Chain A
Amino acid sequence: HITTSLPLPSERDHLRPRIDMIVFMIDIKSKYSLKNVEASLAHVDASFFLGKVCFLVTGVGRVNYCSVEMNAIWKLGEVYCSPVLFCELELEGIRVATAQRLLRMLQICAGHIPGVSALSFGTLMRRSAED
């Protein structure tokens, strides 16, 4: 399911399947997309932040088009305890690889992979210096 912002319209709540994972896409070329994501985060239930949320930053292939400061994105990942992935949508190889990664993460979040739960994503977030 794709949407441009949250919250999702309540009229279709009963038709919607269970949401297992949320990927917030931030376009590094658009400050607006960051602001939009920040505003939408407020509408997400806290339980999602136990491994069921990730940030996908696109447009990273072209450093000189950067309108969003990287520190702001790192901070977002830290504050919401969620992984930050990078992708350049214009390159097919990276696009496909990223899609496969997200699919794998989704399988884990939906409980389809026995022995691995979404909570383990949280351990990947912790920097080794803190241990």
Chain B
Amino acid sequence: LFPPPPQDNTDPQKTAFLLRKQWTLYSVTPLYGFSNAHLKHYARLLSAFIAAEKQKGLAVEVGVELDIKVAVSSIPDLKGSDRDQDAILVQLSLRPPASPKNSEEKLVWSGCFCSVSGDHLSENLPEDFTCLPLFLANGAESYTSIVGSWFQKTFDCCFRRLAISPLNLSWMAAMWTGCQVDKTTSAMELIFSVPCLPYPLDISYAIHPEDAKALWDTVQKTPGEITQEEVDVFMDCLYSHFHRHFKIHLSATKLVKVSTAIASAHCDGIIKFLQSKYLAGVLMLLTELAISQIQ
């Protein structure tokens, strides 16, 4: 079953930064001793930590001495319900040391902790814990690593890459196909990785979005609700169609990536949001996956 998407009271401007960028996903265990009131303090601590790491020789930018500025802010708009904690955004910007104070800062890394309808994780936890199980990172892996270490040390939490199984990807394919999109959109694309071969082989299956939606509309019985059975039937139809033409059983391969007009998701835990209208819905699903991975 698929619950209705959270209320759309959010200001799309505040969450627009999430769109059309590639985000690497992590699940994060609850943070101990974190407080929304100390964000500026955390930014200073993190800044000092990064500078210290650079001194140690773990420089993220080889050669050039650049000044990294840290900003930590909260995004109250990014949540599913009032029971969710406010989302937290961490941004790292670079400013060349020679330039004046007001010169252009270049945003090099963003990290966002959020929870969209993830309140069931926090149900039995003591007050000192902040639940923001989903973490999205955009930018160099080296920065992700440094920021992650600082959070892990400071708030006694644990980050893990969020993997998305083929089963979950099929759900996304079915769910997102059913979404209404205003203008003509890109094709729905599924990418499969073929196992047991001495060389890597990927199969890309592109389907016209209207055909995909027409198929899903015949499968889905109740609008707003999706069952595992319906997802299976939808995927089986796509697989049979492919088999009829190419004599290949896609069901024996591993679904690794799903791309639709709403979003694209890769099994290694990489997501790209394409429509602000469905942003909350996708985040809710990802929050759910993050929570499953934690538990």
Contacts and interface: CB of A to CB of B under 8 A. Distances in A.
Interface residues of A, number: 14
Contacts, number: 39
A35 B251 contact: yes
A64 B228 contact: no
A26 to B, nearest CB: 12
A69 B228 contact: yes
A88 B42 CA distance: 44
A67 B236 CA distance: 12
B44 interface: no
A29 B267 contact: no
A65 B235 CA distance: 17
- Chain A residues touching B, majority SS: helix
Chain B's interface size range is 10 to 19
A65 B165 contact: yes
A69 B251 contact: no
Contacts of B232: 69
Contacts of B239: 31
A65 B254 contact: yes
A65 B166 contact: yes
A3 B164 CA distance: 32
Interface string A67-82: 1110100000000000
8 contacts: A31-B235, A33-B252, A64-B163, A66-B167, A67-B166, A67-B170, A67-B255, A69-B228
Interface of B: 163-167, 170, 195, 228, 232, 235, 239, 249, 251-255, 267
